[in-house]
Amino acid sequence: MSDALSLVFGALADPTRRGILARLAEGPAPVTELGRPFDMTAQAISKHLKVLERAGLVTRGRQGQWRPCRLEVEPLDRATGWIEQHRAVWADSLDRLEQEIVRIQEGRHHDQD
C-alpha cells in the first residue's frame, strides 16, 4: 500500500474537508463557494483544498479566473479497498485462530485416547 493512500485517509480524517468533498459530489464549484458554509478564512479553506489536492481527491480547472474545483473519485475507490483489506485481515487472523483451536482440540482427543 502506498503513501498516496495514507494521504487520502489523512485528507478524509477532517470534517471540513469531508464537507468540501460532499459539496463537490454535487458538481464542480469555485473556491469561494466551497468556503461559504464554513466559518473560516479563505486562507484556511485554501489549506484544506491543498490537502485534498495533494491526496488526489480534488483537481482545479486550468481555464479562466474561476478555476473550479472538481471531485476525483478514484482515490475514494482505493480507500474503500482499504476497508476491504481490513476485513480480509480480520477474516484471515480469525481463520488462523480457528486452526489453533482445532489443533488444541485434536490434542485433547489424543490425550483421551
Partner 1 sequence: MTRTEVEFARGRQDIVVTRQFAAAPDVVFAAMTDPELIPRWWGSRRFDTTVEEMDVRRGGLWRFVTRHREPPATPYTFWGVYHDVVPGSLVVSTLEFAMGGPGRLQLVTDRFEAGPDGGTRYTNVALFQSAEDRDGWIPTDMESGIRESLDLVDGLIG
**Residues of this chain that bind partner 1 (CB under 8 A):** 1-3, 5-7, 9-15, 47-48, 50-51, 54, 83, 85-87, 89-102, 104-105
H or E segment and range at residue 18: helix 15-24
| DSSP type of residue 26 | T
Cell of 100: 489453533
CB of 42 to partner 1, least distance (A): 15
Nearer to partner 1, 8 or 69 (CB): 8
CB of 28 to partner 1, least distance (A): 23
Nearer to partner 1, 33 or 98 (CB): 98
Nearer to partner 1, 13 or 37 (CB): 13
| DSSP type of residue 16 | H
Cβ–Cβ < 8 Å for 86, 9: no
H or E segment and range at residue 46: helix 42-54
